[in-house]
Amino acid sequence: MNNSLGFSLLESVVALTILSGLLMIIFSWNETALFGAEKSFQKFEINEVAENFIEELTPQDLLKSTEGLSEYGTYSVSWKGSIVDQSTGVETNGVPSSFKLALFQIDFEISKSGFIVAKYRTRKTAYRARSS
């Protein structure tokens, strides 16, 4: 009878094979999680750039020019605006107001390193004082 206190070679090989398989699964899952986190962060950055652009685009910008380019760190935003509707403003009591109103449609593209990463379309109002 053989009274050995350690593992046999076959038991060690089987244990190492199981361990290496488990480690491959864990590292694969970890890589997928890191890739997903990176994509999520990129989407967050793109949405932040889009929000900043929309906030910074003033009615005066729309009235002066129908297109433009803005830089936000490593991202650039190129935009084009067109008038969808315009009218003379009317007060709640039906009296014409002192402003001319316009509704603009704005199409803009966000790019990074020359590659377009997102396209958006939104609408924004602009107004200016009516000349007497």
- Report yes or no on whether pTM surpasses 0.75: no
DSSP-derived secondary structure for 103-130:
EEEEEEEEEETTEEEEEEEEEEEEEEEP
Q: Is it the case that residue 1 has pLDDT exceeding 60?
A: no
pLDDT number for residue 90: 77
Report H helices in 57-110.
59-64
Distance CA 10, CA 102 (A): 81
Cβ atoms within 10 A of the Cβ of 24, count?
A: 10
Distance CA 15, CA 33 (A): 27
Q: Is it the case that residue 2 has pLDDT exceeding 70?
A: no
Distance CA 92, CA 58 (A): 25
